[in-house]
Chains A and B, each alone.
Chain A
Amino acid sequence: MATLKELSNIEERFTGGHRLCAGCGIPPIMRLVLRVAGPHVVATTATGCLEVGTTIYPYTSWRIPWIHSAFENAAATMSGIESAYNVLKRKGRVPQDRDIKFLAIGGDGGTYDIGFQALSGVLERGHNMVYICYDNGAYMNTGIQRSGATPFGSATTTSPAGSVHPGKQQRRKDLTRIVAAHRVPYAAQASPHNWRDLEKKARKAFQIKGACFLNVISPCPLGWYTKPEDSIEDAKLAVETCYWPLYEIEDGLLKVNYKPKEKRPIEEWLKKQGRFKHLFREENRHIIEELQKEVDRDWETLLSLDGKRLF
């Protein structure tokens, strides 16, 4: 494991000057992951904040080869690049001693929803690549619409806090487990506040052969209605409340990487975010209780699986 000093000595592959918002969770994730990836890495990004914010022509934040082709196909696009690498290396058109890493990145919309099929295809075919989902819990680039990752009760522009329907009425998908069910060699959840854990997981994902997956929570001050300076703290609180547990499934074996000494009530995380403001009205309080129950149940299930084989 690298120290912070060692990490900071590695060249920056994701430059500043991009147009992502202040307090956005994506840049710290990308900067760390690309440091870990090494100098020979190719990336693709699904349509979304990261793509739009980093490449307005003729500028680019990417000091590595990078491509955007569409919203729902980051995984499929990268599978083509990885396949090209395999054949061109065999044919001697890529230096034999060069070990190139492949990274596909999507937001939760591009991963849980519209890009889900392409992702599933890549996981099943077992391309040697890493897929990272930055999960900010909605389609943020297009103005905060609900996604399959949006938390129950959350207000978005397509699940507004109405008097009849107070925010999103459905539970979120458990994508990390769905990905693991493809029997991939490595799937994990991480958070940018715990850089050691994220660094370790990214390192593993790049080292392990096959399709590896990281689901990383990514605070969004714009969509969460939070203070930009609180983003890392907000990510931490998601983990401390066990809303976003840090765990990994390596070769079928599930391991919970962090167990808070004292599990904080979900309310603490909710109350800092404007997207949950309506839940604190008397008539909606029951939603908070339901959310708490769900978090408790999920956390218990996860603990019961700690150290167990899923496949």
Chain B
Amino acid sequence: MATVTGTKKVVGLTGNSAIAYAMKQVDPDVCAAYPITPSTAIMEEFSGYYADGQVSTELIAVESEHSAMSACIGAAAAGARVMTATSSQGLALMWEMLYVASGLRLPIVMAVVNRALSSPINIHCDHSDSMGARDSGWIQLYSENVQEAYDNLFQAVRIAEDRRVLTPVMVCMDGFITSHAIENLTIMDDAEIKEFIGEHESAYSLLDTENPITVGAMTLPDAYMDIKHQQSKAMAASKDVVVEVAGEFEQRFGRSYGLMEAYMLEDAEVCVVVLSSAAGTTKVAVDELRSQGKKVGLLKPRLYRPFPHEEIMEALRGCKAICVLDRADSMNGFGGPLFTDIRAALYDTPQRPVVINRIFGLGGRDYTVEDAMEVYHELLRIKETGKVETLSAYLGED
């Protein structure tokens, strides 16, 4: 059993306030950010901490997200602990620099408050922004609620800075649904956080003028692939570090995290796979159906990049019909990003369950318990009949 040593203090905060508070507790060396709804409040509140001298951070109020990530890259290469936050178009504008940050193996931590991408312009939640960055070499953690977002941020610092990893991390939470909703959460003391995250000591720094290093050299076919291979291996290996850090977090603070959350999955015959806040809604449907004796379950991946394919395969082993709910469309005529990944992971299972895809919640469209019920009923029908009518579809639309 875990021994909880942390001081428990329950407060009501929005997701954005919780992240800003977490950032204050981390007290990073450098923050460079640019405002965009719905993540704006994170930097606004953090700027408040800065203005009142509550953090030692150098705050750079840059003129674009591209420059935000560029400044983060410079600062991280100089050995600083670096954080930023963004959403949607801001993340899209950073796109080029996301790959530079991960390719240079810089442990930057970024809160991504998920919002739909234009066009049409829309400020509400979906995952098209972070899903577009899923292959950028960043580790991605998805948070169901305010507590998870808060807890994930500290773990992200540890994961990113681990010498076996040295890879930037995105902590994703749902725009408005989580970022603007006040929820109760347990917060830790600054001292406990300091102890958990430790000091950042980078192996190299551009400020070490006595030991000059060249960072970001032009690299030709003789070496490029080897460098990418190292990065790929570190990414794959980071999965174990995510588990390790979650273990230590639980030891200290009592809340348990892993690569994913399996809800009523042990004996489930049908299952929904969904990220972030929609998992909470889905759990209500699971409880309802379970009370009717239906063997339904839920899988909520927490770590999406790297993709824990073996663990997911193991978790879904007993299911006969699965629906992957994607809050983003890959626009590939096949299915959403989570769907294609999950389906691929299940290819090697001997029983090969049915895996269907429903796209939901784009641009902030509500996802209700009734929606979840509808999905489970369809899965139960498929389980009975073995017949799939539509492989991929938009939820609630023809």
A binding-site residues for B, Cβ under 8 Å: 39-42, 44, 51-52, 55-60, 62-70, 72-73, 75-88, 90-91, 93-94, 98, 100, 117-118, 120-121, 124-125
Interface membership of B156, Cβ < 8 A: no
Whole-angstrom distance between the Cβ of B29 and the nearest chain A Cβ = 5
Considering the chains assembled together, what is the distance between the CA atoms of A120 and B207 in angstroms? 24
Closest A residue, CB atoms, query B206: A65
Interface string of B46-80 (1 = CB under 8 A from A): 00000000001110111110111011111111111
> By the criterion CB–CB under 8 Å, are B74 and A79 in contact?
yes
Considering the chains assembled together, what is the distance between the CA atoms of A44 and B78 in angstroms? 12
Closest A residue, CB atoms, query B73: A69
> By the criterion CB–CB under 8 Å, are B214 and A62 in contact?
yes
| Residues from chain B with Cβ under 8 Å of A68 in the complex | 215-218
Considering the chains assembled together, what is the distance between the CA atoms of A73 and B65 in angstroms? 11
| Residues from chain A with Cβ under 8 Å of B187 in the complex | none
> By the criterion CB–CB under 8 Å, are B212 and A63 in contact?
yes
> By the criterion CB–CB under 8 Å, are A52 and B70 in contact?
no
Interface membership of B96, Cβ < 8 A: yes
Could you name 11 residue pairs across A and B whose Cβ atoms are closer than 8 Å?
A57-B223, A62-B212, A65-B209, A69-B70, A73-B67, A80-B60, A81-B75, A85-B78, A91-B29, A91-B56, A117-B63
- From B57, B64, B77, B209, A40 is in contact (CB under 8 Å) with B209
Closest A residue, CB atoms, query B28: A87
| Residues from chain A with Cβ under 8 Å of B100 in the complex | 69-70
Name the interface residues of B239-262: CB closer than 8 Å to any CB of A.
Answer: none
> By the criterion CB–CB under 8 Å, are A94 and B223 in contact?
no
- From B29, B60, B209, A41 is in contact (CB under 8 Å) with B209
Closest B residue, CB atoms, query A85: B207
Whole-angstrom distance between the Cβ of B361 and the nearest chain A Cβ = 34
Whole-angstrom distance between the Cβ of B166 and the nearest chain A Cβ = 16
- From B62, B66, B215, B218, A79 is in contact (CB under 8 Å) with B62
> By the criterion CB–CB under 8 Å, are A88 and B80 in contact?
yes
| Residues from chain A with Cβ under 8 Å of B78 in the complex | 42, 80-81, 84-85, 88
> By the criterion CB–CB under 8 Å, are B209 and A39 in contact?
yes
Apart from A65-B209, A73-B67, A84-B79, 5 more pairs, CB < 8 Å: A57-B223, A65-B205, A67-B206, A67-B214, A77-B70
Closest A residue, CB atoms, query B74: A80
| Known pairs A78-B74, A80-B70; A56 contacts B63 (CB<8 A) | no
> By the criterion CB–CB under 8 Å, are B67 and A118 in contact?
yes
B binding-site residues for A, Cβ under 8 Å: 29-30, 32, 56-58, 60-64, 66-68, 70-80, 82, 96-97, 100, 104, 205-209, 212-220, 223
> By the criterion CB–CB under 8 Å, are B220 and A73 in contact?
no
| Known pairs A55-B214, A69-B73; A120 contacts B63 (CB<8 A) | yes
| Residues from chain B with Cβ under 8 Å of A83 in the complex | 30, 32, 58, 60, 71, 75, 80
Whole-angstrom distance between the Cβ of B299 and the nearest chain A Cβ = 38
> By the criterion CB–CB under 8 Å, are B216 and A80 in contact?
no
Considering the chains assembled together, what is the distance between the CA atoms of A90 and B56 in angstroms? 9
> By the criterion CB–CB under 8 Å, are A100 and B207 in contact?
yes
| Known pairs A69-B73, A80-B30; A87 contacts B56 (CB<8 A) | yes
> By the criterion CB–CB under 8 Å, are A73 and B97 in contact?
yes
Considering the chains assembled together, what is the distance between the CA atoms of A85 and B78 in angstroms? 7
> By the criterion CB–CB under 8 Å, are A60 and B214 in contact?
yes
| Residues from chain A with Cβ under 8 Å of B29 in the complex | 84, 87-88, 91
Considering the chains assembled together, what is the distance between the CA atoms of A91 and B60 in angstroms? 18
> By the criterion CB–CB under 8 Å, are A73 and B60 in contact?
no
Considering the chains assembled together, what is the distance between the CA atoms of A67 and B60 in angstroms? 19
- From B63, B71, B77, B217, A55 is in contact (CB under 8 Å) with B217
Considering the chains assembled together, what is the distance between the CA atoms of A82 and B212 in angstroms? 16
Considering the chains assembled together, what is the distance between the CA atoms of A65 and B204 in angstroms? 10
Whole-angstrom distance between the Cβ of B316 and the nearest chain A Cβ = 40
- From B80, B205, B209, A98 is in contact (CB under 8 Å) with B209
| Residues from chain A with Cβ under 8 Å of B70 in the complex | 69-70, 73, 76-77, 80, 118
Considering the chains assembled together, what is the distance between the CA atoms of A86 and B57 in angstroms? 10
Considering the chains assembled together, what is the distance between the CA atoms of A233 and B217 in angstroms? 32
Q: Which 4 residue pairs are nearest across A and B when measured between Cβ atoms? A: A80-B74, A121-B63, A80-B71, A76-B67
Closest B residue, CB atoms, query A120: B63
> By the criterion CB–CB under 8 Å, are B58 and A64 in contact?
no
| Residues from chain A with Cβ under 8 Å of B76 in the complex | 80, 84
> By the criterion CB–CB under 8 Å, are A125 and B220 in contact?
no
Considering the chains assembled together, what is the distance between the CA atoms of A281 and B30 in angstroms? 57
Whole-angstrom distance between the Cβ of A269 and the nearest chain B Cβ = 33
Considering the chains assembled together, what is the distance between the CA atoms of A80 and B214 in angstroms? 17
Closest B residue, CB atoms, query A101: B209
Closest A residue, CB atoms, query B80: A84
> By the criterion CB–CB under 8 Å, are B67 and A70 in contact?
no
Whole-angstrom distance between the Cβ of A111 and the nearest chain B Cβ = 15
| Residues from chain A with Cβ under 8 Å of B213 in the complex | 65-66
Considering the chains assembled together, what is the distance between the CA atoms of A41 and B30 in angstroms? 20
| Known pairs A80-B30, A100-B209; A86 contacts B217 (CB<8 A) | no
- From B66, B207, B219, A65 is in contact (CB under 8 Å) with B207
Considering the chains assembled together, what is the distance between the CA atoms of A117 and B62 in angstroms? 10
Considering the chains assembled together, what is the distance between the CA atoms of A124 and B104 in angstroms? 28
Closest B residue, CB atoms, query A124: B63
> By the criterion CB–CB under 8 Å, are B97 and A51 in contact?
no
| Residues from chain B with Cβ under 8 Å of A77 in the complex | 70-71, 73-74
| Residues from chain A with Cβ under 8 Å of B57 in the complex | 87
Considering the chains assembled together, what is the distance between the CA atoms of A80 and B70 in angstroms? 7
Whole-angstrom distance between the Cβ of B145 and the nearest chain A Cβ = 32
Considering the chains assembled together, what is the distance between the CA atoms of A15 and B71 in angstroms? 27
| Residues from chain A with Cβ under 8 Å of B82 in the complex | 80, 84
Whole-angstrom distance between the Cβ of A55 and the nearest chain B Cβ = 4
| Known pairs A76-B70, A76-B71; A69 contacts B216 (CB<8 A) | yes
> By the criterion CB–CB under 8 Å, are B217 and A76 in contact?
no
> By the criterion CB–CB under 8 Å, are B207 and A42 in contact?
yes
| Residues from chain A with Cβ under 8 Å of B212 in the complex | 62-66
| Residues from chain B with Cβ under 8 Å of A40 in the complex | 209
Considering the chains assembled together, what is the distance between the CA atoms of A273 and B220 in angstroms? 33
Whole-angstrom distance between the Cβ of B208 and the nearest chain A Cβ = 7
> By the criterion CB–CB under 8 Å, are B58 and A94 in contact?
no
| Residues from chain B with Cβ under 8 Å of A76 in the complex | 62, 66-68, 70-71, 74
